[in-house]
Amino acid sequence: MPVDLSKYFHAAAGGSRDELAGADLPGFTAVITKAPVPTLLGSSPIDGVPVVTVISGAELTPAPVAPSSTAIMVVAATPTSNSASTAAPTETGGIAGIDVSSGMIGLVNAARERFGRQPYDIDANLIKSCVSHAADMAEHTFMDHKGSNGSTPASRATKAGYSWGFIAENVAQGQKTIAAVMDAWMHSQGHRDNILSGTAVDFAAAYAQSDAGTLYWVQCFGKPL
């Protein structure tokens, strides 16, 4: 399906909620800081208070750009298979949301199977939501769940045509491959909770490359009404 977006193209998105508790893995220490290393940002629509957690670990810091990632869950009552390719596309233009989603969902569903979860299905509208946010982050060189125009994971999903009862999102920057960003997310409890969600049923993923060569990743998770 054609998606008319800028050269910042690639998308890797997803998001959802999980009742499973993901413990920190050996060798990683959680601290409260804003250091430029892999990060986890979680916010609740109930209390609205963000918590920043930094996961320290050499494996999660590929050079030359120190990667980082954030996770968010959004729950609302009303709305407003696959192969595990691990290499990110190398083109500098075009849309690769479908390819990235197909490559990443193999790793995502393998993780879900290990924890007794049902596999996700790829959703075309969530792909559009992921692609648009990855492109926005790459073009404006920032990493956040709030878009440069004030958009949110929920509003982007709605604009993309996804009629949702639940939506969540993971984002990251700096990782060079699908395998690397999945490893970083799975080592972070908030991201891992989204990947292993017991609520979401649909998935999409995308990434975009900035002019400086940094990759910006997005995962989107949802459950339709």
What confidence score (pLDDT) does residue 225 get?
Answer: 93
Q: Is the pLDDT of residue 41 over 70?
A: no
Q: How many residues does the chain have?
A: 225
Query: Residue 19 carries which side chain, given as an amino acid letter?
Result: E
Domains of the chain by residue range? 95-224
Q: Let me know: does 157 contact 164? Beta carbons within 8 Å.
A: yes
Query: What mean pLDDT, rounded, does the chain reach?
Result: 68
| H/E segment holding residue 112 | helix 97-114
Domain 95-224 has CATH 3.40.47.10: no
Question: What is the average per-residue pLDDT within 83-100?
Answer: 48
Given pLDDT bands bounded at 50, 70 and 90, which one contains residue 118?
very high
Q: Are 164 and 85 in contact (CB under 8 A)?
A: no
Q: How confident is the model at residue 173 (pLDDT cuts 50, 70, 90)?
A: very high
Neighbours of 83 (CB within 10 A): 10
Contact 158, 36 (CB under 8 A): no
Does the pTM exceed 0.75?
no
In the structure, what pLDDT confidence band is assigned to residue 102 with cuts at 50, 70 and 90? confident
pLDDT category of residue 100 using cuts at 50, 70 and 90 = confident
Identify the burial level of 177 via C-beta atoms within 10 angstroms of its C-beta, where 0-12 means exposed, 13-18 middle and 19 or more buried: middle
Among the ranges 55-59, 80-84, 95-99, which has the highest mean pLDDT value? 95-99
Q: How confident is the model at residue 153 (pLDDT cuts 50, 70, 90)?
A: very high
Confidence class for position 99, pLDDT limits 50, 70, 90: confident
CB atoms within 10 A of CB 116: 9
86 or 26: whose pLDDT is higher?
86
